[in-house]
C-alpha cells in the first residue's frame, strides 16, 4: 500500500478534499460526494451533495462542529483531523493510515456495526491472531523455514 501522508494545506477544504482522494471504499474506489452525503444523512447529519461539494472546494464556510464530527467519523478520522495545529494525541493519524486500506476499514466497520460485547471483541482479536499464526506457518512451510514461534 502506498504511504499516505497528510495534506500540506491545513484548511478544512484541503483536508476534506484529501480524504476524498485518499480514502477508498471496500472495493478500492474513491467515494463520491453524493455517496458520502447520503451516508451522512442516513446517520442523522443532513447535508446535500451540493453543500458537501462546496465544502470540499472551499466555496462554503467551514461547517458547524456536528458536521465536522460526522464527516470525520465517516472517513475514520478523529474530529481533530480538521483542526489545524492540534497535536495528534490519540493516535488518529496511525488509525487514518490503517483505515486507508479498504480491507482494514471493512473489518473495522463490521466490528463497529456488530455492537459486540467486550468478550465478543476479544474473540475477534483471538481469531485474527490465530489466522496470523496459520498464515505465518504456511509462509514458513513454503520457504522451508520453521515458524517464528517454534524457534
- Find the DSSP H helices in the chain: 12-22, 33-42, 49-57, 65-74, 92-99, 102-114, 118-143
- pLDDT band with cut points at 50, 70 and 90 for residue 93: low
pTM of the model: 0.55
How would residue 129 be classed by pLDDT, with cut points 50, 70 and 90?
confident
- What percentage of residues in the chain have a pLDDT greater than 70? 80
Q: What is the pLDDT of residue 136?
A: 86
Three cell numbers written together for 10: 491545513
The Cα 89–Cα 49 span in angstroms is 32
Confidence of residue 3 (pLDDT cuts 50, 70, 90): very low
- The crossing angle, in degrees rounded to 10, of helices 33-42 and 65-74 is 110
Amino acid at each position: 500500500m502506498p504511504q499516505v501522508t497528510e495534506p500540506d494545506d491545513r484548511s478544512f477544504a484541503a483536508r476534506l478534499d484529501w480524504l476524498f482522494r485518499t480514502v477508498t471504499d471496500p472495493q478500492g474506489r474513491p467515494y463520491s460526494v453524493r455517496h458520502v452525503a447520503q451516508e451522512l444523512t442516513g446517520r442523522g447529519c443532513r447535508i446535500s451533495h451540493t453543500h458537501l461539494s462546496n465544502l470540499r472546494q472551499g466555496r462554503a464556510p467551514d461547517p458547524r462542529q456536528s458536521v465536522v464530527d460526522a464527516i470525520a467519523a465517516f472517513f475514520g478520522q478523529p474530529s481533530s483531523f480538521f483542526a489545524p495545529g492540534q497535536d495528534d494525541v490519540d493516535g488518529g493519524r496511525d488509525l487514518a493510515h490503517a483505515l486507508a486500506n479498504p480491507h482494514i476499514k471493512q473489518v473495522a466497520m463490521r466490528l463497529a456495526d456488530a455492537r459486540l460485547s467486550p468478550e465478543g471483541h476479544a474473540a475477534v482479536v483471538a481469531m485474527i491472531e490465530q489466522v496470523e499464526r496459520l498464515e505465518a506457518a504456511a509462509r514458513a512451510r513454503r520457504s522451508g523455514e520453521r515458524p517464528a514461534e517454534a524457534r
